[in-house]
Every structure is written in C-alpha cells, then in structure tokens.
C-alpha cells in the first residue's frame, strides 16, 4: 500500500466503514509510515474536535491540506532517496 492509497481510504478507516482486509492493510501501513500515522492522528483529532462542538462534517479544505502535505512529503523523500 502506498501513501496515496492510504489517504484515499483514510476517511473510511476513521469512520470504521471498511472491510477487515482493508483495515489490516491500512494498519500495516501505519506501522512503518510515520507520515501517514501523523496525518491519521491529526485527522482523527480534528474530527473529534468537530464532533465535540457538534459541527460536521470534517471540512474538505482541512482534509485536502493534510493530504497534500503528506503526499508532498512522501514525494520529497523519494526524490532524495536514490
Ligand atoms: Zn504513508
């Protein structure tokens, strides 16, 4: 699983709306990918904050910004890894 795939499923993962197989793959990704781990935690916290305030759903701009940041970071790492 790549970061892009992870981020695509992140919402479903946080909602708990995914099948066990996919959930396992996502959690495996979190084991070694610190970037996605951070994004996952941040997104979850953001969702919780909004839920507490009874504001819903998670605003797209925040999610988009998080996802762009993580994708850019991963790309950057790849560019310099060789
Ligand atoms: Zn990742």
The pLDDT tens digits along the chain (82 residues) read 999 999 999 989 998 889 999 999 999 999 999 999 999 999 988 888 777 766 556 667 777 888 888 888 887 665 655 5
Cα(21) to centroid(ligand 1), Å: 17
CB 57 within 8 A of CB 48: no
Within a 10 A sphere around the Cβ of 10, how many other Cβ atoms? 20
The length of the chain is 82
- pTM here is 0.60
CB 28 within 8 A of CB 1: yes
Cα(53) to centroid(ligand 1), Å: 29
pLDDT of residue 80: 57
DSSP-H helix ranges across 33-80: 34-52, 60-79
Cα(51) to centroid(ligand 1), Å: 26
Domain extent at residue 69: 3-79
pLDDT of residue 29: 96
């Amino acid at each position: 699983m790549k970061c892009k795939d992870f981020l695509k499923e992140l919402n479903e993962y946080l909602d708990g709306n995914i099948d066990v197989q996919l959930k396992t793959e996502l959690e495996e990704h979190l084991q070694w990918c610190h970037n996605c781990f951070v994004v996952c935690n941040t997104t979850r916290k953001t969702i919780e904050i909004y839920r507490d305030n009874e504001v819903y759903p998670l605003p797209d701009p925040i999610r988009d910004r998080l996802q762009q940041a993580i994708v850019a970071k991963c790309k950057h790492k790849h560019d310099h890894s060789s």
